[in-house]
Structure 1
Amino acid sequence: MSRIVFAWELGGGYGHLGPFRPITERLVSAGHQVTIIAKDIARAAVAFRGLDVTLFPSPVKLSKAVPYDPAPSTFGHLLQNMGYRDPLELNAMIHVWRNLFQVTRPDCLVLDHCPTGLLAARGIDVPQFTFGTGFFCPVDEFPLREMAPWRPMDKEERIRSESQLIDRINTILESNGQPTIARIGEIYSSVTANLLTTFRELDHYPYRQQGEYLGAWSATNSANNRLLPETPWPEGDGPKVYAYLKPHKSLRELLMWLSGQGLPTLVVGDGLDGAGLSKSLRSNVKLVSHHLNLRSVGETCDLAIMNGNHGTCCEFLLAGRSMLHIPLTFEQAIFSRRTVELGVALDASPDQPRQIIQQLSALINSGTHRQAAQDFASRHASFRAENGIDRCSQRISQAL
Structure 2
Amino acid sequence: MSTVMICWGMGEGYGHANKIACVTGGLEATGLHVVIAARDRRLMEGVARRRGLACEVVQAPVLPATRSPDVATVFYSDLLLSRGYSDPDRLVEAIAGWRALFEQHAPDVIAFEYAPTAILAARGVDTPRLGFGTGFYYPPAPLPRLIPEHMTGSGVAHDAGYDTALESVNQALHASGLTPVDGLEAVFDPGPVFITGAPEVDHFGHIRRDGRYTGPVSENLSPGSALEWPQGKGPRIAGYLKAGAPGIERVLLRLNRVRARFVLHLSPKKGERPEALARRLPRSTNVQITLRPFDIDAMARQASCFVCHAGNGATIASLMAGTPVFGLDLHPEQGLQVDALRRAGLGDGTHFHAAAGDIGERILALTRHGSRERQRARNFARKYGGATLSPYRELVSGVARLAGGA
Shorter-chain TM-score above 0.5: yes
Structure 1 segment 269-288 matched on structure 2, within 5 A: 269-271=266-268, 274-276=276-278, 281-288=283-290
Between the two proteins, the alignment pairs up a number of residues equal to: 390
Alignment CA distance shift 1:334-1:199 (3 Å): same
Residue 357 of structure 1 aligns with an amino acid whose one-letter code is: G
2:340 paired residue number = 338
Worse-matched range after superposition: 367-376 or 14-23: 367-376
Q: Which 10-residue stretch deviates more, 111-120 or 53-62?
A: 53-62
CA shift, 1:365, in A, is 4.8
Aligned residue among 242, 258, 266 for 1:246: 242
Alignment partner, residue 199 of structure 1: 198
Q: Which amino acid aligns with 1:45?
A: E
Deviation at 1:264, TM superposition (A): 2.5
Question: Distance in 1 between the 2:124 and 2:275 partners?
Answer: 50
Residue of structure 1 equivalent to 2:125: 124
Query: Which letter does structure 2 place at the counterpart of 1:108?
Result: V
TM-score (norm: length of structure 2)? 0.86
Once the two structures are overlaid, the 10-residue window that deviates more, 324-333 or 211-220, is 211-220
Q: Describe how 1:46-195 pairs up with structure 2 within 5 A.
A: 46-49=46-49, 50-65=52-67, 70-141=71-142, 144-149=143-148, 150-151=151-152, 157-158=158-159, 161-191=161-191, 193-195=192-194
Question: Structure 1, residues 18-70: CA drift from partner, whole Å, max 9, x if none?
Answer: 0121321232343322111111111011111132222221222224337x772
Answering whether residue 395 of structure 2 is matched by residue 396 of structure 1, we say no
With CA pairs under 8 Å and 6+ residues apart, which has the higher RCO, 1 or 2? 2
* CA 219–107 in structure 1, closer or farther in 2 if over 3 Å, else same: same
Q: Give the Cα–Cα distance (whole angstroms) in 2 for the partners of residues 2 and 75 of structure 1.
A: 35
Deviation at 1:111, TM superposition (A): 1.1
C-alpha distance in 2 between matches for 1:277 and 1:355: 26
Q: Deviation at 1:362?
A: 4.0
**How far off its partner does 1:381 sit?**
4.3
Identify the range of structure 1 (285-294 vs 306-315) with the bigger mean alpha-carbon deviation.
285-294
The 5 Å alignment of 1:3-18 reads 3-18=3-18
Asked if structure 2 preserves the Cα contact closer than 8 Å seen for 1:322 and 1:344, the reply is yes
Range 24-33 or range 112-121, more displaced? 24-33
The aligned residue for residue 302 of structure 1 is 304
One-letter code of the match for 2:380? F
> Which of 377, 380, 384 lines up with 1:376 in the alignment?
380
Question: Residue 288 and residue 127 in structure 1: after superposition, are their counterparts in 2 closer, same or farther (change >3 A)?
Answer: same
Aligned AA for 1:127? Answer: P
Question: Retained in 2: the 8 A contact 1:348–1:355?
Answer: no
Residue 216 of structure 2 contacts residue 387 of structure 2 at CA under 8 Å; is this kept in 1? no
| 1:235 and 2:240 aligned | no
Structure 2 CA distance for aligned equivalents of residues 167 and 204 of structure 1: 27
Match of 2:262 among 265, 272, 285: 265
Greater CA drift, 182-191 or 100-109: 182-191
Q: Deviations over 1:214-245 (max 9, x none)?
A: 12334425xxx8x6423432322110110111
Q: Which runs of 5+ in 2 are unaligned?
A: 269-273
Residue type matched to 1:145 in 2?
A: P
Structure 1: distance between partners of 2:157 and 2:387: 44
Letter in 1 for 2:377: A
Aligned to 2:38: 38
Distance 2:280 2:288 in 1: 8
Aligned mates of 1:363, 1:28 — CA distance in 2: 40
Give yes or no for contact 2:216–2:384 (8 Å, CA) kept in 1.
no
Map residues 209-220 of structure 1 onto 2, 5 A cutoff: 209-220=209-220
- Aligned 8 A contact 1:278 1:287 in 2: no
Letter in 1 for 2:79: L
Consecutive unaligned residues in structure 1, runs of 5 or more? none
Contact persistence 1:73–1:152 (CA under 8 A): no
Amino acid at match of 2:171: T
Which letter does structure 2 place at the counterpart of 1:374? R
Letter in structure 2 aligned against 1:337: D
How big is the shift at 1:340? 2.0
Question: Is the CA contact (8 Å cut-off) linking 2:119 and 2:189 kept in structure 1?
Answer: no
**Contact in 1 for aligned 2:36/2:57 (Cα 8 Å):** yes
Secondary structure of the corresponding residue to residue 21 of structure 1: helix
Q: Are residues 1:2 and 2:2 paired?
A: yes
- In structure 2, do the counterparts of structure 1 residues 386 and 156 end up closer, same or farther at CA, with 3 Å as the change threshold? same
CA–CA distance in 2 between the matches of 1:40 and 1:275? 24
| Distance (Å, rounded) in 2 between the aligned partners of 1:154 and 1:261 | 38
Counterpart of 1:252 in structure 2: which amino acid?
A: E
Q: Relative to 1, partners in 2 of residues 1:280 and 1:199: Cα closer, same or farther, differing over 3 Å?
A: same
